[in-house]
Amino acid sequence: MTKQTLRPLDGITVVSLEHAVAAPFCTRQLADLGARVIKVERPGSGDFARGYDQRVKGQSSHFTWLNRNKESLALDVKQPQAQAALLQLLKSADVLVQNLAPGAAARMGLSYEALKAHNPRLIVCDISGYGADGPYRDKKAYDLLIQSEAGFLSVTGTPETPSKSGISVADIAAGMYAYTNILSALLLRGKTGEGSHIDVSMLEAMGEWMGYPMYYAYDGAPPPPRTGASHASIYPYGPFAAGDGATVMLGLQNEREWKIFCDAVLQRPEVATDPRFCSNAQRNANRAALQALILGVFAGLTAAQVVERLEAAGIANARVNDMADLWAHPQLQARQRWRTVGTPAGDVPALLPPGVNSAFDYRMDAVPAVGQHNAAILAALGWSAEQIDALQAPQAI
């Protein structure tokens, strides 16, 4: 099938006062679908996430990941002339996204109530740690702190040590819900002709993702224990060492698979009916004994031999990959999921967004330098070269 050149969000303009992860994650996905995303940054330093590290040709890994396809407009929005330019831009924009400090956008006249008088079709999405009201409204919120407040740390890690996620899971959750809420708001605007206000809270996003452990602990029941990389309530389900020192991840879902596992993988069919292991509840209660038994069998095999047995038996399994393995993953290569995007320091590889669409190709354009698009954006708003130059003297851009 020939793909069309039109993308779902072509013609949509998004202005974003964003930094770090949550809002940039949201807006990059909008840009991948064709939206024009104008990223408003501090003159000079830009989004502070640009300085998190220097791992990608001297650039930040977070920033490179989250900011392709965007235009950078450097504005000191505390200065009147720069604020006037921003308000002029918002009069014709479709979406404003912001994750500034609580109340900061409203103090600059960028609340939904203030902006809808000038642009009733504007969709305003505010992303914060705890939401626009309530006793925690003004509390500072970083990813790890929200993981903690949402109870994520209580179910993640080992029995001895709670562990945070290795990625910014609370920021990503909030960015994902901002993205889907904006798409919904655009659909609704198509029916009503009017914009709307979206208030996304990191705590509420993580609260949704914590639904299983919350219900598991319903009405005062004990919560799921921290079990490292193993499943909290299904066993065997998790990492097991083979005789060559490598680790195999495997997972059993039902009693049929348990019997097959004992027959074909352990090659000890009598274990399936052992009273200690004859149901998941019993296997869960006797983890230590079953783990010792499995490791005893696996000790005489290499990881490749364990995987061969698991595959032949139809038992789910996976390699315990590191980042080098993911870069070189044969499945991503086979499905042609890699593209090249530009950055201020040169081209880098980038994964296509999840979801292969038969109708269109995702946009995969460059990561911008700070203020790279100042002149083009302001000129399109009708500013003369002299007016643009005048903004540079007080470092308003």
| Neighbour-count burial of 73, counting CB atoms closer than 10 A to its CB (0-12 exposed, 13-18 middle, 19+ buried) | buried
pTM of the predicted structure, to 2 decimals:
0.92
Residue 389: its pLDDT value, please? 87
Residue 379: enclosing H or E segment and its boundaries? Answer: helix 374-380
For residue 5, the model assigns a pLDDT of 86
Stated length of the chain: 397
Of the candidates 19, 197, 231, 373, the residue annotated as catalytic is: 231
Domains of the chain: 13-209+337-392 (3.40.50.10540), 237-320 (3.30.1540.10)
8 Å CB contact between 52 and 64: no
Nearest CA to 252 among 262, 241, 242?
Answer: 262
CB 56 within 8 A of CB 84: no
How far apart are the C-alpha atoms of 127 and 253, rounded to whole Å? Answer: 38
Q: What token pair was written down for 315? A: 């038992």
pLDDT tens, N- to C-terminus, the chain (397 residues):
578 789 999 999 999 999 999 999 999 999 999 999 999 999 999 999 999 999 999 999 999 999 999 999 999 988 989 999 999 999 999 999 999 988 899 999 999 999 999 999 999 999 999 999 999 999 999 999 999 999 999 999 999 999 999 999 999 999 999 999 999 999 999 999 999 999 999 999 999 999 999 999 999 999 999 999 999 889 999 999 999 999 999 999 999 999 999 999 999 999 999 999 999 999 999 999 999 999 999 999 999 999 999 999 999 999 999 999 999 999 999 999 999 999 999 999 999 999 999 999 999 999 999 999 999 999 999 999 988 888 876 777 7
Rg (CA), the chain: 26
Distances (CA, A) of 297 to 142, 190, 247: 45, 61, 14
Q: How far apart are CA 397 and CA 393, in angstroms?
A: 9
Q: What's residue 1's pLDDT?
A: 59
Q: Quote the DSSP letter at residue 166.
A: S
The 3-class secondary structure across 253-293, one letter per residue, is: CCHHHHHHHHHHHCCCHHHHHCCCCCCHHHHHHCHHHHHHH
The pLDDT assigned to 233 comes to 86
Give the pLDDT of residue 353: 97
Rounded to 5 degrees, what angle do the CA atoms 3, 32, 83 make? 140
261 by Cβ neighbours in 10 Å (0-12 / 13-18 / 19+) ranks as buried
Check if 62 is active-site: no
The string over 105-129, giving b where at least 16 C-beta atoms fall within 10 Å of a residue's C-beta and e elsewhere, is bbebebbbeebbeebeebbbbbbbb
Look at residue 2 in the predicted model and tell me its pLDDT.
73
* Sheet of strand 316-319, all strands in order from the earlier edge strand to the far edge: 237-241, 247-251, 316-319
At 199, which amino acid appears? D
